[in-house]
C-alpha cells in the first residue's frame, strides 16, 4: 500500500547517465505508485511530468503530449501528492531565490520533499531533449544538444522534488523541477525562472522505494562510479 509519505523511483540517475534509456515499466505501473512526479520516457524522448494523475511528455520540440498507459519510462520519481503544507510565494527574481525561499520553509534536508507551485512567471526557462536512437550516447554528451526554450509571462505549475545529499548516484541531490503551463501546451525541465506570484504546497517523504529495471542492460551496467560534476551541469 502506498501513502503520501512514500516516494517511489524507477531506475537510478546513474543508469540514465550511462545511457540506459529503455526501461520495462509502463505508465500503468507508474500510476500505481503515484499521481504526481517527474522523469522521462523510453529513448530519453523529452521530459515527463505527472500532475493530478495525468502524465505528460514534453518532446524536444517543446510540445506537450498526454502519455498513454502503454508507454514506458527509463527514469521516474513519483508520489501521491497531498500538499500538507501551504504558503503564498513572494515575488522572486531567480531560480536561486526560489530555492532559498523553499529552503526556509521546508524541513530537514535528510528527507525527500515534494513541491508544487502554481503561479505566474515573468520568465520560465526550460529544456527538453529529443528522442535518442541506439547506440545510445551517455547523458552528458546528449545534453549538449538539448533544446532550450524561454517563455515570458506564463501561468502554470512548477513541480518536483528536493532530494537529500546522501542520494548521490540514485537521484539528483537538491532541487529537480519541471514546468507545465495551464493550457498544457508548453513546459520542460526548469533551468531558470522568476516568480510574480504563486501558491506553494509541499510535503515530506519518510519512506523511499526503488523499482529497478529487470533487463539485461541494467544488470550488466557498471554503476560503481558517480560523476557528480557532470550530473550537476546537466541538471542546472
pLDDT single digits (tens) 12-45: 999 999 999 999 999 999 999 999 999 999 999 9
Cell of 62: 517543446
Domain containing residue 39: CATH number: 3.30.1330.80
- Give a yes or no: residue 116 inside a domain: yes
Residue range(s) defining the domain that contains residue 169 = 6-235
- Give a yes or no: residue 143 inside a domain: yes
What is the full DSSP assignment across 142-178?
HGGG-EEEEEEEEEEEEEEEEE-GGGTTTS-SEEEEE
CA 209 from centre of chain = 16
- Give a yes or no: residue 1 inside a domain: no
Q: Can you give the pLDDT of all 236 residues of the chain as single tens digits? A: 455 589 999 999 999 999 999 999 999 999 999 999 999 999 999 999 999 999 999 999 999 999 999 999 999 999 999 999 999 999 999 999 999 999 999 999 999 999 999 999 999 999 999 999 999 999 999 998 899 999 999 999 999 999 999 999 999 999 999 999 999 999 999 999 999 999 999 999 999 999 999 999 999 999 998 888 888 887 77
- Give a yes or no: residue 152 inside a domain: yes
What domain count does the chain have? 1
Helix (H) or strand (E) holding 48: strand 47-51
- What's the predicted TM-score (pTM) here? 0.96
Amino acid at each position: 500500500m502506498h501513502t503520501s509519505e512514500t516516494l517511489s523511483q524507477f531506475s537510478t540517475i546513474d543508469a540514465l547517465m550511462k545511457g540506459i534509456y529503455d526501461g520495462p515499466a509502463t505508465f500503468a505501473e507508474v500510476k500505481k505508485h503515484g499521481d504526481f512526479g517527474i522523469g522521462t520516457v523510453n529513448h530519453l524522448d523529452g521530459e515527463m511530468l505527472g500532475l493530478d494523475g495525468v502524465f505528460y511528455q514534453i518532446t524536444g520540440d517543446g510540445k506537450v503530449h498526454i502519455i498513454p498507459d502503454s508507454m514506458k519510462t527509463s527514469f521516474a520519481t513519483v508520489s501521491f501528492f497531498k500538499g500538507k503544507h501551504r504558503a503564498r510565494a513572494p515575488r522572486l527574481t531567480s531560480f536561486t531565490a526560489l530555492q532559498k525561499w523553499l529552503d526556509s520553509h521546508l524541513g530537514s534536508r535528510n528527507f525527500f520533499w515534494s513541491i508544487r507551485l502554481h503561479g505566474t512567471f515573468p520568465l520560465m526557462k526550460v529544456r527538453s531533449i529529443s528522442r535518442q536512437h541506439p547506440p545510445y550516447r551517455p547523458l552528458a554528451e546528449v545534453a549538449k544538444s538539448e533544446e532550450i526554450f524561454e517563455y515570458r509571462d506564463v501561468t502554470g505549475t512548477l513541480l518536483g522534488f528536493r532530494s537529500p545529499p546522501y542520494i548521490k548516484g540514485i537521484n539528483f541531490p537538491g532541487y529537480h523541477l519541471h514546468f507545465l503551463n495551464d493550457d498544457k501546451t508548453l513546459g520542460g525541465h526548469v533551468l531558470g525562472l522568476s516568480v510574480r506570484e504563486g501558491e506553494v504546497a509541499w510535503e515530506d517523504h519518510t519512506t523511499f522505494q526503488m523499482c529497478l529495471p529487470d533487463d539485461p542492460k541494467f544488470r550488466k551496467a557498471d554503476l560503481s562510479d558517480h560523476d557528480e560534476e557532470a550530473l550537476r551541469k546537466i541538471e542546472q
